[in-house]
Amino acid sequence: MKHIPLSITNRTVLTVDEMERIMANAATRRYPAKAVVVAESDTGCGLYVILEGRCKAYVTDESGRITDLSVMGPGEYFGEISLDEGPRSASVMALEPSLLLVVEPGEFQAFLALSPEFAFHLIGKLICRIRELTKSVGDLARMDAYGRVARLLLDTAVMQAGRLVVPMRPDAGEIAARLESAEGVIEGIFEDLVNGGYIAFEEDRIVILRRPPGRW
């Protein structure tokens, strides 16, 4: 088999020693370019290691729009999420003719038991993924909350002395309760609107200096 260029410092890939151990009880499969290796929500199990070629991971929304997540090359792996035998979290397609190593769940578990360094690396990788997902969900929630705050301010504003104002100056807690959001999220949105020159706070009202954008 041709030499596989692996990095022992970039832990997105397997080391040579790890590769030798995991190849002992695994099968290889070839995929042509544009072949879908695994599909999102499939319940198939197993780890895939790229020996030759390149693959991309992606997700598809309800409208069919594709969002690329990553491009992987020789020595990199995917499918570790399926270790719990749950559905795949993303689809993976071969970008070019590719040779993949397919490791069945039982073999993968045995490999982890004999490779504590890799097991700890895998835990760290999953932790990073959880953090990224948590941040993404938080960003989406904040974007949604921003749109509702901007709409609420405009809907409750009235003209006073030639200026568009929200009377009675509702605070972040009041708006958070009304929009069923977190007070800290609303406070952050207020801060952004003030810094962006969209609103100003006066003693008894909020002054809308210019119309906030529909999306932040």
Q: Which residues contact 176 (CB under 8 A, 6 or more apart)?
A: 182, 183, 185, 186
**Could you name the CATH architecture of 142-208?**
Orthogonal Bundle (1.10)
126 three-state secondary structure: helix
What pLDDT is stored for residue 9 in this prediction?
Answer: 39
Domain with CATH 1.10.10.10 in the chain: 142-208
Question: Rounded to whole angstroms, how far apart are CA atoms 1 and 11?
Answer: 23
64 is written with which tokens?
């069919």
Model confidence over 36-84: pLDDT tens digits? 999 988 876 688 999 999 999 998 877 778 888 888 999 888 888 777 7
Kindly state the percentage of the chain with pLDDT values over 70: 88
**Could you name the CATH architecture of 16-126?**
Sandwich (2.60)
If one compares 62 and 88, the residue with the highest pLDDT of the two is 88
86 three-state secondary structure: coil
Q: What is the DSSP string of 173-192?
A: HHHHHHHT--HHHHHHHHHH
Lowest mean pLDDT segment, chosen from 70-79, 108-117, 191-200, 204-213:
108-117
Domain with CATH 2.60.120.10 in the chain: 16-126
If one compares 102 and 24, the residue with the highest pLDDT of the two is 102
